[in-house]
């Protein structure tokens, strides 16, 4: 981590950036996001197995954007987030300095986003093994069993929207689920309304999920909502041979039409 801290210090000393979004040691062994604005604070940066939060969620927050030119500590899901946000015109290409952390935990000093694209060609994150097993188990169910499974699993949801707030791809200022004129989806928690909310969320994330898992980790009730978006990523990969956030050159899956698309869903 010395190389990460040295680079952070140098970026702040030279005033190349005004703030570095990274991971800091918290209390009781917890890790939290840190906003490093002086060279002396660079020592506080850490990276280890506890650093799972997708810090890319802060890149579209106005209070963070106001801090000036940003750098971000970026394990692979964060790198993918930066590329998706660039493609979706939420950040300008090469405007946020990316302090990469490779899959092997090594510091990667990227000069431009094209270098990130090259790295991700051979180093994309996979779903954790336990999630893969759960997805296989759920996928093997009959349609009726799967409906019952998700009905029961989503029933306790209190619609606190922590899963949405944790997701860097849910950056709309006003979410459709909180609109009540007209009201498309019940605002309050209800059995059917909970399913509508979660299925809509999964559809909005299709072809955009970075596989960070933060939505599931952030749920106070332990509801594994990340399995829905992980499954959508698998469906997109199987049908369109593409993964989200590997390049800023190609349009995202859901905004692309190709004459040879299978379109089996409308047959």
Can you give the binding site for ligand SF4, defined by CB under 6 A? 54, 157-163, 166-167, 169, 205, 209-215, 218-219, 221, 223, 225-226, 229
C-beta closer to ligand SF4: residue 11 or 236: 236
C-beta closer to ligand SF4: residue 54 or 86: 54
Determine the 3-state secondary structure of 103 from DSSP: coil
C-beta closer to ligand SF4: residue 158 or 172: 158
How far CA 58 is from CA of 19, 81, 207, in Å, comes to: 12, 11, 21
How far CA 247 is from CA of 81, 86, 216, 257, in Å, comes to: 10, 9, 25, 18
In whole angstroms, the minimum distance from the beta carbon of 43 to ligand SF4 comes to 29
In whole angstroms, the minimum distance from the beta carbon of 239 to ligand SF4 comes to 18
Nearest to 113 by CA among 146, 136, 87: 87
Q: What gap in Å lies between CA 240 and CA 125, rounded to an integer?
A: 18
Q: What gap in Å lies between CA 159 and CA 29, rounded to an integer?
A: 29
Peptide bond just before 251 cis, omega within 30 deg = no
In whole angstroms, the minimum distance from the beta carbon of 233 to ligand SF4 comes to 8
Nearest-5° Cα angle at 41, 35 to 43? 115
C-beta closer to ligand SF4: residue 55 or 209: 209
Nearest to 207 by CA among 229, 174, 179: 229
Nearest to 99 by CA among 44, 169, 29, 23: 23
In whole angstroms, the minimum distance from the beta carbon of 59 to ligand SF4 comes to 13
In whole angstroms, the minimum distance from the beta carbon of 242 to ligand SF4 comes to 15
In whole angstroms, the minimum distance from the beta carbon of 160 to ligand SF4 comes to 4
C-beta closer to ligand SF4: residue 41 or 86: 86
C-beta closer to ligand SF4: residue 172 or 221: 221
């Amino acid at each position: 981590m010395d190389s990460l801290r040295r680079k952070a210090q140098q970026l702040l000393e030279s005033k190349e950036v005004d703030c570095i979004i990274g991971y800091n040691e918290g209390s009781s062994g917890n890790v939290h996001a840190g906003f490093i604005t002086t060279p002396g604070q660079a020592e506080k940066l850490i990276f280890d197995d506890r650093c799972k939060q997708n810090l890319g969620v802060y890149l579209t927050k106005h209070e963070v954007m106001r801090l000036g030119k940003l750098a971000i500590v970026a394990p692979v899901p964060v790198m993918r987030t930066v590329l998706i946000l660039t493609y979706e015109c939420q950040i300008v290409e090469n405007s946020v300095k990316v302090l990469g952390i490779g899959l092997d935990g090594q510091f990667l000093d990227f000069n431009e986003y094209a270098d990130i694209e090259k790295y991700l060609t051979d180093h994309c994150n996979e779903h954790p093994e336990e999630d893969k097993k759960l997805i296989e188990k759920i996928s093997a169910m009959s349609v009726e069993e799967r409906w019952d499974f998700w009905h029961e699993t989503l029933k306790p949801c209190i619609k606190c929207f922590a899963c949405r707030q944790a997701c860097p791809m849910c950056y709309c200022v006003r979410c459709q689920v909180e609109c009540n004129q007209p009201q498309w989806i019940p605002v309050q928690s209800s059995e059917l309304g909970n399913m509508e909310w979660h299925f809509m969320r999964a559809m909005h994330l299709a072809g955009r999920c970075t596989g960070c898992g933060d939505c599931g980790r952030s749920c106070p009730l332990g509801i594994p909502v990340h399995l829905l978006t992980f499954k959508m990523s698998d469906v997109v990969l199987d049908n369109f041979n593409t993964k989200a956030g590997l390049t800023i050159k190609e349009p995202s899956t859901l905004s692309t039409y190709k004459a040879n698309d299978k379109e089996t869903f409308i047959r």
